[in-house]
Amino acid sequence: MRIGELAQASAVSRDTLRFYEQRGLIAAQRSANGYRDYPPDVVQLVLYIKTAQRLGFTLGEIGSSVAALWQSPDPDSAVTQLLQDKLKLIETRMDELGALRHELQQRLGQRCPLTP
């Protein structure tokens, strides 16, 4: 499948696909004339990348987990574990932000620490 076909099938721009390839998230074979040729299962992989990004995963996180998921004997369990880990990370970050918010609210009524 050529890059244009993949772009259309996955609703992603050609530039995005080139970027994903540059980051090592997807791979293409090169034909004799230099065109990229993607296997059909890359459509599923690109859709996974888009979904993972929408769920807050960085491209680095996606890149470090996608190979293991692709080769996992139980991809459903592997994805569930990734989602649980991400949720835990987000909840921790929300707690930290809540504590920061509380501290900022406490300091609103105080004098500037730079004033002598």
Instruction: Dump pLDDT digits (tens) for 32-43.
Output: 898 999 999 999
- Provide φ and ψ at 37, rounded to 5°: -130, 115
Residue 116 is encoded by which pair of tokens?
């002598």
Share of residues in the chain with pLDDT > 90 (%): 78
77: burial class by Cβ within 10 Å (0-12, 13-18, 19+)?
Answer: exposed
Rg (CA), the chain: 21
Of how many residues is the chain composed? 116
Query: pTM of the prediction?
Result: 0.79
Please determine, for residue 116, whether its predicted confidence score (pLDDT) is greater than 80: no
